[in-house]
Amino acid sequence: MDPFFRKLKFRRCTLRTAHLDRACFALAGARRTKAVVGFRDCGMAGEGLIKRSVAGPVKACTCKLARYCEVVVVDEFRTSKKHFDCQTTDDLTNQRVMRKCRDGVVRKVPVHKVLHCLRKHGGCGKSVDRDVNAAKNILSILQNQLAGISEQPLRLRR
C-alpha cells in the first residue's frame, strides 16, 4: 500500500473519532453534571445494506456516548404515529395539500412531514411535525423508565 494512502486512512480515522468525541461531549454537557441520553433501540432496524444491521456509525456513537453519560435504550415503536399530547389510540394522519402534479392535474397530495390528529376519532385537531412528535414521545418513555415505570403508555405498546 502506498504510504500516502495509509496516512490518509489514519487521518480519516482520527478525524472521525475527534468529531465523534466533540459531538458526545456537547451532548453530555459539562464534566460535573449528570446527563442521561435516551437512544433509540436500533438493534433490529433493517436500515443498512445488510439486513438487521444499522446504517451509519450508530453503534460507535452509542459506545462513545456511554463513556460520557448514561445511555438508556428506548423502544421507539409507534412514537411518530401517535400524538404525544392527547390520549387517543388512533394513528395520526398525513396532512394533505393541493399540488400540481406532473401531468398538469391539481390533486391533494399527502405531506409526510406534517401529521394531523383528527377530531372525529376523539383527537385534539392539532397538526404536528412528525420528528418533533416522535422526540416528545421518546422523552416521555425515557422519563417513565427513569421513574421506575417499566411498561410503556397504552397508546405506544406493541
Give mean pLDDT, residues 69-88.
85
pLDDT over 70 at 73, yes or no: yes
pLDDT, position 105: 93
pTM: 0.74
| Cell output for 82 | 401517535
Residue from 152, 116, 114, 110 nearest 132 by CA: 114
CA distance 137 to 154: 12
Cite the beta strand spans of 26-158 per DSSP E: 36-40, 70-74, 93-100, 106-116, 127-129
> pLDDT tens-digit profile of 3-56?
777 788 888 889 988 998 898 888 888 777 788 888 777 655 555 556 666 666
